[in-house]
Amino acid sequence: LKDINSSTIISDNFVISYENSSYYMTYPDVITYLQGSGRSSRLYNGGLTLGLSIVLIDNKLIFEILKRRLQRMLPEIAFKELSELNLDMVKQQLDSSRRDEGERTQFSITTGLLVVESPTKARTIAKLFGRPSIKLYNRIPVYETIIVDGKNIYVMNIVATKGHITDLTTDKLGYYGVKVDDSDIIPYYVPLSRCLDCNKIFSSTNYDKCPYCGSENVYSSKAIIDLLRHFSLFVEKIYIASDPDAEGEKIAFDVSSLISPYNSEVYRVKYHEITKNAILNALRNPQKVDVNLVMSQVARRVEDRWIGFELSKILKNKFNDFNQGAGRVQTPVLGWIVNRTMNYKSNLGYIVYIDINGYIIKKYFKDRKSAEEYLKSVEKISIEKVNEQKILLSPLPPFTTDSLLIEANSRFKFTANLTMKIAQELFEAGLITYHRTDS
C-alpha cells in the first residue's frame, strides 16, 4: 500500500479513505462496466454495430484503477477525452451501423480444437480468456472458451493429452518393438496405458489388462485419441500446442498423424510462456510439425529401448533380480557419480578456518597432523592492503535447466525431480517461461 495523503490509501485494486470517523473501501466494478458498455453494440446482420460508452469521472483514482485493470484483460483498450471526438460524425456512424446497408465491423469466426499436454495448462489457458465452460467426455475435461484477437474470433475447445499418447510397443514384435529390415528401421507405436491398481505404465496392443498385476482397472490413452478424433470432425481447425521441445514435437506428430484423416486443417503452434499475448501470437503464426525434430526424438527413443532393455536383461540374469536396470543415460550418469564419489573420498582431509573480523580464509591439509602444526605456527597474521577498486556487478542471467537444478540443490537441497516438478507447476500457472532448455 502507498500513502497518498493522511486520509487516503491506494492499492492496485481499491482505495481506502477515512471520512467522518469511518473507513470506506472503494473499488471499480470492472465486470459490470464491461457488461454495461458491451450492450451499446450488438451483433447484427453478420457484423458488430458501433457502440459508444461515456464515462463520467467523479474519482480519478478509481478511474485509473479501472483503466489499469481493463488493460490487463484487454491490452488494446484506450479511453479518449470527449472533446477529442467529433460527436456529429460518431452519431452518424452509430446510426449507419444499425441500418441494413450500413457499415459494420466484420468478424472471422473459427471453431477450433487446441491440444495441450497437461490438464493444468488447459485450465490456465482457458481462464486467460474469461470464464470457460467445462464438459466431461468419458471423464476427460474439455474447456470451451472464446478467444478474441482483433477481428478474429475463435470458439476454442481445449483438451489435454496428459503427456505422450503413444510409445514403442512391448509386444514381441521385431527387436524390442522395432522391426529391422535390411536398411529400414520401423518402430511400432501403440497407445500408452496405466494400471490404476499397481500404477505401472505399459504399451501393448492388449491395453485392457495390466501385464504386471493382471488388473483390468486400466486407463488407456486410446480414450484421448478417440476424443480428439471425435472433436476433429466438428471443428474447422486443430491447433497442437504441446511443449516447444523434442518430446512436445513428438506428441504433436502423434496427434497430427492420428487425427489428420478426420480433419486436414492441423497446425502446430508454439509458445514459451503461458500468457494471453503468447497464446494469441502462437495462433497468429501456425506452423507445421518439425519432422526432423521428431525423427531425432524417435532415434533417441529407439536407442533408449535397445540399450536399456538389452543391458537390463543382462543385469537381471547376472544378479537374478528383476529390479536391476540400466539405460542409455542412467548408466553413464551412475558411472559419473561413482567416479566423483571415489575422487571425493580420495581427497578427504582437514580444513583450517581462519576468521579475520568476519572474513574467512580456508587452508586445506591432507592429514590431521599437518593441520595441527599449522595452527600452532600461526600466532600473528599481518594484513596488507594491496589494491582497492569498485566493481559493478550485473544481475545473473535467467536460469537454464542445469543452472536451475544446481541453484535449487545448493540453496534449498531440492532434488532434481522436485525442482522440475515445481518448475512445471510454475510454467503451467503462467509464472515462468519454459523450463526444459537444451543448454
The pLDDT of 360-364, averaged and rounded, is 88
Q: pTM, whole model, 2 decimals?
A: 0.73
**Lowest-confidence range among 16-20, 172-176, 405-409?**
16-20
Does 105 have pLDDT greater than 80? no
Ordered domains of the chain (ranges, CATH) = 2-97 (no CATH), 107-165+221-289 (3.40.50.140), 166-220 (2.20.28), 296-346 (no CATH), 393-439 (1.10.290.10)
pLDDT band at 46 (very low <50, low <70, confident <90, very high): low
Does 115 have pLDDT greater than 70? yes
**Lowest-confidence range among 210-219, 286-295, 410-419, 425-434?**
425-434
- Which of 425, 419, 421, 422 lies closest to 404 in space, CA to CA? 419
18: annotated active-site residue: no
d(CA 5, CA 10): 10
Secondary structure element (H or E) that encloses residue 194, with its range: strand 193-195
Tens digit of pLDDT for each residue in 248-280? 999 999 999 999 999 999 999 999 888 888 999
Does 2 have pLDDT greater than 50? no
278 has which bridge partners? none
- Angle subtended at Cα 335 by Cα 331 and Cα 340, rounded to the nearest 5 degrees: 150
The pLDDT of 141-170, averaged and rounded, is 93
Alpha carbon of residue 245 to chain centroid? 12
The residue whose grid cell reads 573480523 is 357
Identify the active-site residue in 207, 239, 267, 434: 434
pLDDT at residue 93 in the model: 86
C-alpha separations of 116 from 47, 205, 333 in Å: 32, 25, 31
Q: Which DSSP state fits 187?
A: E
Contact 185, 170 (CB under 8 A): no
Task: Output the average pLDDT for the chain.
Answer: 88
Does 226 have pLDDT greater than 50? yes
